[in-house]
């Protein structure tokens, strides 16, 4: 049984999100919190929690300080930001502080369901709108992970193709379909890519590779 904590101070939104979760997952156990303090207590009491869905604007959060506190107190539980705030810098900063993804409150039910399923499979989720903003206006060089050509050329051609699809915001399932390989093979490639590039997660790899010309590199 999948166990989730919804930490949001709006009861109506929690109710709507519960409906989405029940439709997307098989018989999940859902716990609710309306403040950061309540979320911290519940996270410590339920160490077997599979996922925390966290609103960064609820009482006690103080911006992303609440996320940091939750990651310190419950480091083994993935935390996903779910918020009406879609500022690119805020989203990327949350990911840098350990969030496993970001879901916009404005997202359609199907998109939320897909996001939850991807995150529970161990993937980092970003909405397509944020991915486009990142590609159109990348972070300054001093604030994004660096990627040396030596590290880049350590990737195989297949790994480069997978990384190219990752930068486009595709999930492992979509990459598998486009490259005509098994999803488990994609996961293995992603793990190898992270290890070779020396990054901790999918988002850092995407940011590091965001401005690469893959068409030129893959033909090398």
In a domain, 141, yes or no: no
Q: How far apart are CA 200 and CA 51, in angstroms?
A: 19
Q: How far apart are CA 13 and CA 27, in angstroms?
A: 20
* pLDDT at residue number 180: 93
Q: At 186, which CATH number?
A: 1.10.10.10
Who's near 100: CB < 8 A, 6+ residues apart?
A: 51, 78, 79, 80, 119, 124, 125
* pLDDT at residue number 99: 84
* pLDDT at residue number 211: 64
In a domain, 220, yes or no: no
Q: How far apart are CA 110 and CA 152, in angstroms?
A: 35
Average pLDDT over the chain, rounded to whole?
A: 83
What residue numbers bound the domain in which 195 lies?
A: 149-214
* pLDDT at residue number 143: 43
Q: What is the pLDDT of residues 86-138, one digit of tens each?
A: 777 787 778 777 788 889 888 899 989 988 888 888 777 877 666 555 555 54
Domain count, the chain: 2
Q: What is the pLDDT of residues 173-193, one digit of tens each?
A: 888 999 999 888 988 898 898
* pLDDT at residue number 142: 41
pLDDT of 29 over the 90 cut: yes
* pLDDT at residue number 140: 44
- Answer yes or no: do 15 and 99 share one domain: yes
- Answer yes or no: do 158 and 122 share one domain: no
- Name the domain boundary from 103, 135, 167: 135
In a domain, 79, yes or no: yes
| pTM of the predicted model as reported, rounded to 2 decimal places | 0.68
């Amino acid at each position: 049984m999948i166990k989730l904590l919804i930490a949001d101070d709006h009861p109506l939104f929690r109710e709507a999100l519960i409906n989405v979760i029940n439709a997307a997952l098989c018989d999940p156990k859902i716990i609710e919190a309306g403040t950061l303090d309540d979320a911290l207590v519940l996270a410590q009491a339920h160490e077997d929690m599979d996922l925390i869905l966290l609103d960064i604007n609820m009482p006690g959060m103080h911006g992303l300080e609440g996320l940091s506190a939750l990651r310190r107190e419950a480091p083994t539980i993935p935390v996903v930001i779910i918020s009406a705030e879609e500022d690119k810098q805020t989203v990327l900063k949350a990911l840098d502080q350990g969030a496993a993804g970001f879901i916009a409150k404005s997202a359609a039910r199907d998109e939320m369901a897909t996001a939850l399923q991807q995150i529970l499979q161990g993937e980092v989720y970003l909405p397509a709108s944020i991915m486009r903003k990142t590609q159109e206006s990348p972070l300054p060089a001093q604030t994004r992970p660096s990627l040396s050509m030596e590290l880049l050329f350590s990737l195989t051609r297949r790994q480069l193709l997978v990384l190219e699809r990752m930068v486009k915001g595709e999930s492992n399932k979509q990459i598998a379909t486009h490259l005509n390989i098994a999803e488990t093979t994609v996961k293995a490639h992603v793990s190898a890519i992270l290890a070779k590039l020396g990054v901790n997660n999918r988002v850092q790899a995407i940011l590091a590779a965001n401005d690469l010309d893959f068409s030129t590199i893959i033909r090398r």
